[in-house]
Structure 1
Amino acid sequence: MSDLIVTEFVTLDDVVEDPDGRAGTPGGGWAFRHGEKAVAGDKFDLGPLFETGVMLFGRTTWEHFSKLWPSRTGPFADRMNAIPKVVVSKSLTSADAWQNSSVTDDLVSTVRALKARQDIVVVGSISVVRALAEHGLVDEYRLMVFPTVLGAGERLFTVPGELRLTSVEQKGSGALMRYRTDT
């Protein structure tokens, strides 16, 4: 069985809401205040997963990325554009805006079928992450933790649970923290 890996930008107090500021929330833009080096490139150490895995998005995150990535070039952008992408949505009818994208409206069945043959990387998409966690489908969290405390905002974890820390690596002013769920 392959792994489902959740990647998130997160503050020290577990806020995942509006890291780039595009939603206009009061604390929005917190990740990007640490400079481009803190957020650019393969900060989540996905490496070979770009060749063998698939990315999973919620509609809102996919729509945002589909406006940014298709016009970008370079080694990381080329890998982002080439990897197969699945968008979970009940309202999106076409995923033509970003190459190698497809749409599903059945999150759990789709993920179970994909996990049988390849690793899955979830980018942002907090409602998708929460649904996956409820069904015990998350194997690993890769959290890019930034030295910011907002005190309010949407948090990643909303229910109690236990995770096992497997590594910590400094990445600019942040830290990439990897946790296994051992589900």
Structure 2
Amino acid sequence: MSVIVTEFVTLDGVAEDPDGSGGTATGGWAFRHGPEAVAGDKFRLGTLLETGTLLLGRTTWELFSKLWPGRTDEFSARLNAARKLVVSRTLTDVTAWQNSALLRGDLAEAAERHDGDLIVIGSLGVAQALARHDLVDEYRLLVFPSVAGEGRRLFEAAVDLRLVSSTPVGSAVLSTYRTR
């Protein structure tokens, strides 16, 4: 089992509000680079969408459950068909997006018990909680040539990572890091 965190980040490490839906003063920085910068399987998830489980926080799940179900391209179909676990203390119904289930109980304990790969998409709070428990095995970061100057950053504390690969993806760079 691996926990893989995928995030859009700026050069200064901000991961908050890449699409502007959060209404922050600096939000929307990823989308200023055009739709091709964020469309499709930019994180190279491939078959992980079929074999793994997406782990999403409430805010990301609510946004995605409105965006993805109506799309029919190949990537969207794979994302829609993927198993999804939703971390939320307030949601009671996750039927708006197929194959979604609420995660019951403690996030760290559930992640440790889960069979198979867990893929965190966005969901900054979930990613940070897993990192605090040293449960993240891999980060796939799509780094955009923007400096936000302020906003929530992915990393809350110092961490040493091992670079596995770095690939240009449109105007951004996909960098994959391992923690161990």
TM bin (shorter chain):
over 0.9
Which residue number corresponds to residue 167 of structure 2?
169
Task: Give the secondary structure class of the aligned counterpart of 2:140.
Answer: strand
* TM norm structure 2: 0.97
Name segments (4+ residues, structure 1) moved above 6 Å.
none
Which residue number corresponds to residue 178 of structure 1?
176
* Superposed CA RMSD: 0.8
Task: Give the secondary structure class of the aligned counterpart of 1:176.
Answer: strand
Query: Mean Cα displacement is larger for which, 95-104 or 16-25?
Result: 16-25
Amino acid in structure 2 at the alignment position of 1:56: L
**2:110 aligned with 1:110, yes or no?**
yes
Q: How many Å apart are 1:105 and its aligned residue?
A: 3.5
* TM norm structure 1: 0.95
Q: 1:154 aligns with which of 148, 152, 155?
A: 152
Amino acid in structure 2 at the alignment position of 1:78: A
Between the aligned residues of both structures, percent identity stands at 58
Which residue number corresponds to residue 36 of structure 2?
37
Task: Give the secondary structure class of the aligned counterpart of 1:170.
Answer: strand
CA distance in structure 2 between the aligned counterparts of 1:150 and 1:64, rounded to whole angstroms: 22
Per-residue CA deviation, residues 132-173 of structure 1 (Å, 9 max, x unaligned), is 011111000000000001111111111111111110000000
Amino acid in structure 2 at the alignment position of 1:69: W
Amino acid in structure 2 at the alignment position of 1:61: T
Per-residue CA deviation, residues 37-57 of structure 1 (Å, 9 max, x unaligned), is 110000000001011111000
The runs of 5 or more residues in structure 2 that have no matched partner are: none
Aligned length: 179
Q: How many Å apart are 1:29 and its aligned residue?
A: 0.6
The runs of 5 or more residues in structure 1 that have no matched partner are: none
CA distance in structure 2 between the aligned counterparts of 1:25 and 1:95, rounded to whole angstroms: 26
